[in-house]
Amino acid sequence: MDVVLLNIAYAVYTLSSVFTSMVRLRIVLLIATGFFIAYGVVVDSMSLILWNVPFGILHIINLWRLWREHRRNAQAGEHDAYRALLFPSLSRVEFERLWDISVEETLGPDVALTRAGEHPASLYLVTDGDAVVQLPDGRAVHLGRLSLIGEMSLIRDAPASATVTTGSPTVVRRWDHGELKALWTRHAEVREAFLLLIGKDLITKLD
């Protein structure tokens, strides 16, 4: 058994030389380290175990760092796409100020975003899925991706004129009205960019 474990450990360690991806390399080295530790347990070699445990911990730490870096890069790319689509006039720093005070929420179908006659506390941007506007005359209007919900209540400081619900499982970006207005007060360029987006959104809804 001990010979088998040792041979597997060396085989996996040798296999690591063929990988160019740092993530795969770290995973393979972590597996090899695990087999070396298992071998040390079987042959009762405390020194072998003590030498390999720190290496295993380092591989885990480096994998975690690689995962965080990958996640940051993915988020940066996603943020740049939204900035280009929605707020092209904002710098990256200005956009991040705006984006950081919002919260991403995943909602099921038929979740109310606004209710007619009630003052909504938040403004929503649909990033995936759709929303349904229930008009006073009984008609229903569907709003798709990148539509704003609750923007007129924000501007007019008035109750919602219609009830809006999610039409399907939907992902939204939600801004608290108070936090958004406070940001607008501190950063006029953010206010102007957001008001321009609201204007474009209203034109799209009227078409």
pLDDT tens per residue, range 6-54: 556 567 666 666 666 677 777 777 787 887 788 777 777 787 778 788 8
Same domain, 104 and 79: no
pLDDT number for residue 150: 93
Number of structural domains the chain divides into: 2
Give mean pLDDT, residues 55-73: 74
Residues 67, 157 share a domain: no
Nearest CA to 29 among 5, 52, 2, 3? 52
Whether 108 and 71 map to the same domain: the answer is: no
* pLDDT tops 90 at residue 112: yes
**C-alpha span between 144 and 8 (Å, rounded):** 54
Residues 78 and 177 in one domain: no
Domain-terminating residue out of 83, 100, 132: 83
Compute the average pLDDT of residues 102-111: 94
| Domain enclosing residue 67, as ranges | 2-83
What is the spatial distance between Cα 99 and Cα 60, in angstroms, rounded to a whole number? Answer: 31
User: Last residue of some domain: 66, 83, 100?
Assistant: 83
Task: Indicate whether 59 and 112 sit together in one domain.
Answer: no
**Structure token digits, residue 90:** 């904002």
- Indicate whether 36 and 99 sit together in one domain: no
* Same domain for 111 and 45: no
Which residues have CB under 8 Å from 183's CB, separation 6+?
97, 98, 101, 190, 191
Same structural domain, 52 and 142: no
Q: What is the pTM of this model?
A: 0.65
Answer with the one of 83, 103, 129 that is the final residue of a domain.
83
| Average pLDDT of the residues of the chain | 84
Task: Identify residue 100 by its one-letter amino acid code.
Answer: D
Most confident among 45-49, 59-63, 167-171 (mean pLDDT): 167-171
Query: Which residue, among 50, 52, 54, 14, has the nearest Cα to 36 in the 3D structure?
Result: 52
